[in-house]
Amino acid sequence: MREEKDLLGTLMVPDEAYYGIQTQRAVLNFSVSGKTAGEIPHFLWSIAAIKQAAAEANRQIGALDEQKASAIVTALKEVMAGDFDAHFPIDIFQGGGGTSTNMNMNEVVANRASELITGKRGYDEIHPNTHVNMGQSTNDVIPAAMKMTSRMNINQLLIQLEELEAVLSEKSFLFSDKVKLGRTCLQDAVPMTFGQQFGAYRTQVSKLRAKMAEVSEEALFLPLGATAIGTGLSTHEGYIPAVYQWLEIITGDKYTPESDFFDGLQHGDFYIEFSAQLKKIAAFLSKMATDFRIQGSGPRAGFNEIIVPAVQPGSSIMPGKINPVIPELINQIAYQVIGNDVTVTMAVEGGELDLNVWEPVLLKVLFESCSLLSKGIPLFIDKCLKGIAINEKVSARYAEESTALATIISTLFGYQVGSRIAKTAFQQQTSVKQVVLAENLLTPEQADYLLDPMNMTDPQKSTAVIKRYQKEMNIL
């Protein structure tokens, strides 16, 4: 162990650690969740990229000498490569709006940069605050890194959504001639096709993907340069344009300063929007998963109209039982994401006065939600969607036997006649077609084409068969 000092006194720090006393205090103060900042995909990389851009900018404007800047940049590149992951031990939950994580980075980089120059660690040559943190504050570095992290995680999620849309499009085409009974309020409705069902899913994913792509673009606006409260205090002349130029070189993305730094530090509307889109994706996925669970229920005493792929036995006591475990997984992911959205809302609402200090919990729940969806969607695709099959015999029978087919009779003969036919079919446990033929409302040929469930799934076909009937009966 080695002894280090700060304004509160002295503390022992592990001798092998590249971090220092402020990190050690945070480890002792905040170890509650067991999850560190390093477990947030791309977060530490984003902080290091910001500090590299700052070092390059300060070197460019003459605020940081060449030797120090070069050592800091080299150390940051090593951090970005993952060489020092073990030296970021702080729990993601922490007070101070992320100050501990920012100082953890400053200490690691200062020790490593000093080591590069002098051969030993310590802050005599490179200081965490004076040099590594030059022109920065936790208050602008952490939210800027959060938005950069958001963009990288969103872009990964967009790839998953694109694949999901493609699979749903394929299923929509494959199932375009597979008729099913539509249902509203969990009761029989008029026929439709499974292609139409899966086509609606595809359309929803397309809309969700477009909205999430907009959020990714919003993440390009950063509060970097605001420093403590938005005034930019402690930055040198020329720093802000230079730091954004270097950030583009380092990341390949054209980040831009927020139009109002005070707004950028105080208000978390971006996080609410990001979380809202995650919630919308989760809610849709859960709805689709629930549809599959209902339509695949049975197989002897349920709907049994689609076949959900079996991926594991479903009971420890009932042989042969198979559960829809992948759809159930998606439901649970959705419940967590929707719960996380409430946390985001509260954390943004609680951003009192001139700074929102709740970045740690925002980080934790936002990227938990993003990660759950990014990992859950491929599982849903590979272990459920790709193998979904239609029980055509059962589905066709449901469509043919539904009393909802009386809707076409109502169109031709009036609502009262259609209602009577439906009621009779229900009471006699027979089909609408059989009742219509028994009452001589239609000829067998007319009943065949008017009451064909597939014809009812297509507006053009349904209007054509009505027109044909009217012509045959000489009805204007």
Active-site residue list: 315
Cβ–Cβ < 8 Å for 128, 110: yes
Neighbours of 240 (CB within 10 A): 18
d(CA 9, CA 22): 11
Cis check: omega of the bond before 299, within 30 degrees of 0: yes
d(CA 83, CA 49): 15
d(CA 89, CA 27): 7
What is the dihedral angle through the alpha carbons of 73, 78, 79, 82, rounded to the nearest 10 degrees? 160
DSSP string, 456-471: HT-HHHHHHHHHHHHH
The alpha-helical segments, DSSP class H, found in 62-137 are: 66-80, 99-118
d(CA 424, CA 431): 9
Provide the token pair at 464.
């054509």
Q: Which residues contact 194 (CB under 8 A, 6 or more apart)?
A: 171, 175, 176, 178, 179, 180, 306, 390, 395
Burial (CB count within 10 angstroms: exposed 0-12, middle 13-18, buried 19+), residue 11: middle
d(CA 165, CA 84): 38
d(CA 307, CA 311): 12
User: Residue 261: which of 354, 148, 399 has the closest Cα?
Assistant: 354
